[in-house]
């Protein structure tokens, strides 16, 4: 909604209460008066900020009586036409009304950014779970956090977050939650749409979900966001959600410019089931001309430590990871620090991974068991350590590793293989992995002369290998 579409008399402006909007006069009282004046106007609680810069010296408050209030400016994600300027350690707006809407407003720090600078703090004390807040076409510059919300329902669409700490930070209220059933975890933690945003040089994760130990943040759509010099997209709890179509370039392995430690691009710390990660490009920046990093380029060409990590507390099952391009990663691109089951990892491209050349790293690394997991149609670039691209620390059970391209004689190293199907690229039968630990496994190979496939079956002690084209 743009102010130009509004009927005269359907909104108020701070100028009606004495605002100067010149960037130097303190307009706190005038803007607050405009907000207070719309209480009791039903669905016509609309405050418009005409073009200008409104300097405030204390947080503005949108109370619980301001349900469905709109604060509208004339800007876009790329412009600061209607700007709120703050130079104090605190939120520009503390928003307590449900179904709030901010659009076309820029939030800009004056002077040095401090740890408490927040664009909009969405939080209330009574009926604290229901928020349903919308921020669209806004500009957040040099904020420690653009939007921090406690409660359910956030729509963060086509915003620019530049030169700040975190874009969106969501947590669950510790008190004031009313009702039961769909209002409380696990189902109560739902409804997040974060799409079409530009996160420019965030020093922390662009998106953080935290504060609830059961890992039940669910129903998130995190799509089509751009992080340039972005480092980190997501951290926290996530289930039954989609991360798709995002671009993250120049993610940094080294400490950030603010001293933050290395971290994955996507780090799912708990939950982890029913998650789809698809169509993303996650990576650092390719090695510059000449083939080596030099001190002159260290600040420009960067690569992340890892791309996607499911932490040891995540219960990862019924998860789909497909169609992603992951490039220029210092270590392991896709790392499940526990076990994985009933999931697919398909049609992904891994380029320039394990640039550290560390033994034990892999393009896909599962530290525990992999049960009923399909790894199909992936393109694995060469591992500088000379090891297979897939590593399972436990056993691969009732799964399949087929249709992948890779360098070397085998796609997989595992603690054990039971009832799985593994397809090798053309090789000699003598190149088959040793049968120890393989129980009821089948391996389909084509010999080095390009003849028809042979089928090898292990009984746990030896291979039974058929002639090309004949069954065992």
pLDDT at 269: 92
Note the pLDDT tens digit of each residue in 234-246.
999 999 999 999 9
CA distance 196 to 193: 10
CA distance 394 to 339: 8
Give the H or E element holding residue 33.
Answer: helix 28-37
Question: Is pLDDT of 356 > 80?
Answer: yes
Given a contact cutoff of 8 angstroms between Cβ atoms, the answer to whether 280 and 324 are in contact is yes
Q: In 3-state terms, what secondary structure has residue 243? A: strand
Dihedral sign (CA 75, 234, 388, 354): positive
Note the pLDDT tens digit of each residue in 369-409.
999 999 999 999 999 999 999 999 999 999 999 889 998 77
Average pLDDT of the segment spanning 77-101: 96
Average pLDDT of the segment spanning 181-188: 76
Highest mean pLDDT among 251-255, 295-299, 317-321, 448-452: 317-321
CA distance 350 to 374: 17
pTM: 0.89
Q: Please, what is the end-to-end C-alpha distance for the chain in angstroms? A: 69
Question: What is the radius of gyration, based on Cα positions, of the chain?
Answer: 26
Q: Residue 141 has what DSSP assignment?
A: E
Q: Which residue has the higher pLDDT, 183 or 356?
A: 356
CA distance 53 to 27: 9
CA distance 105 to 107: 7
* Mean pLDDT for all residues in the chain: 85
Q: Write the burial class of residue 270 (CB in 10 Å: 0-12 exposed, 13-18 middle, 19+ buried).
A: buried
pLDDT at 465: 45
Question: Is pLDDT of 467 > 60?
Answer: no
Note the pLDDT tens digit of each residue in 406-426.
987 778 888 888 888 888 765
Phi, psi of 300, deg, nearest 5: -110, -55
According to DSSP, the residues that pair with 417 across neighbouring strands are 396, 438
CA distance 159 to 148: 14
Question: Is pLDDT of 150 > 70?
Answer: yes
pLDDT at 139: 98
């Amino acid at each position: 909604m743009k102010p130009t579409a509004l009927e005269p008399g359907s909104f108020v402006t701070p100028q009606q209460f004495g605002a100067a909007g010149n960037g130097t006069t303190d307009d706190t009282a005038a803007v607050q008066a405009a907000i207070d004046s719309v209480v009791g106007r039903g669905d016509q609680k609309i405050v418009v900020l005409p073009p200008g810069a409104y300097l405030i010296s204390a947080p503005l408050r949108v109370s619980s009586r301001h349900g469905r209030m709109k604060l509208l400016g004339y800007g876009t994600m790329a412009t600061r036409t209607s700007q709120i300027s703050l130079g104090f350690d605190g939120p520009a707006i503390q928003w307590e009304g449900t179904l709030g809407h901010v659009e076309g407003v820029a939030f800009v720090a004056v002077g040095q950014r401090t740890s408490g600078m927040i664009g909009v703090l969405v939080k209330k004390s009574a009926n604290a779970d229901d928020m349903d807040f919308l921020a669209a076409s806004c500009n957040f510059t040099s904020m420690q956090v653009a939007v921090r919300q406690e409660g359910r329902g956030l729509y963060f669409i086509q915003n620019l977050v530049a030169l700040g700490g975190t874009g969106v930070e969501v947590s669950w209220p510790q008190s004031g939650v009313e009702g039961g059933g769909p209002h409380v975890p696990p189902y109560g933690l739902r409804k997040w749409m974060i799409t079409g945003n530009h996160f420019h040089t965030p020093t922390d994760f662009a998106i953080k979900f935290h504060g609830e130990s059961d890992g039940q943040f669910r129903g998130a759509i995190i799509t089509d966001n751009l992080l340039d010099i972005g480092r980190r997209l997501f951290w926290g709890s996530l289930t039954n959600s989609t991360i798709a179509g995002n671009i993250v370039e120049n993610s940094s392995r080294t400490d950030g410019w603010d001293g933050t430690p290395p971290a994955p691009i996507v780090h799912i710390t708990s939950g982890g089931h029913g998650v789809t990660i698809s169509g993303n490009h996650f990576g650092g920046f390719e090695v510059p001309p000449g083939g080596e990093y030099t001190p002159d380029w260290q600040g420009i060409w960067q690569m992340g430590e890892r791309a996607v990590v499911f932490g040891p507390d995540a219960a990862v099952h019924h998860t789909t990871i497909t169609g992603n391009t992951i490039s220029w990663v210092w270590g392991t691109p896709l790392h499940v620090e526990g076990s994985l089951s009933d999931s697919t990892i398909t049609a992904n491209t891994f380029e320039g991974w394990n640039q550290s050349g560390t033994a034990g790293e892999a393009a896909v690394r599962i530290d525990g068991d992999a049960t009923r997991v399909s790894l199909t149609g992936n393109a694995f670039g060469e591992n500088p350590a000379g090891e297979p691209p897939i590593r399972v620390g436990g056993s691969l059970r009732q799964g399949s590793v087929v249709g992948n391209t890779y360098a070397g004689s085998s796609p997989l190293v595992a603690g054990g293989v039971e009832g799985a199907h593994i397809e090798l690229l053309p090789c000699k039968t003598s190149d088959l992995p040793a049968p120890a630990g393989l129980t009821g496994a089948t391996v389909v190979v084509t010999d080095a002369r390009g003849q028809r496939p042979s089928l090898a079956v292990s009984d746990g002690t030896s291979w039974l290998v058929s002639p090309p084209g004949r069954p065992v």
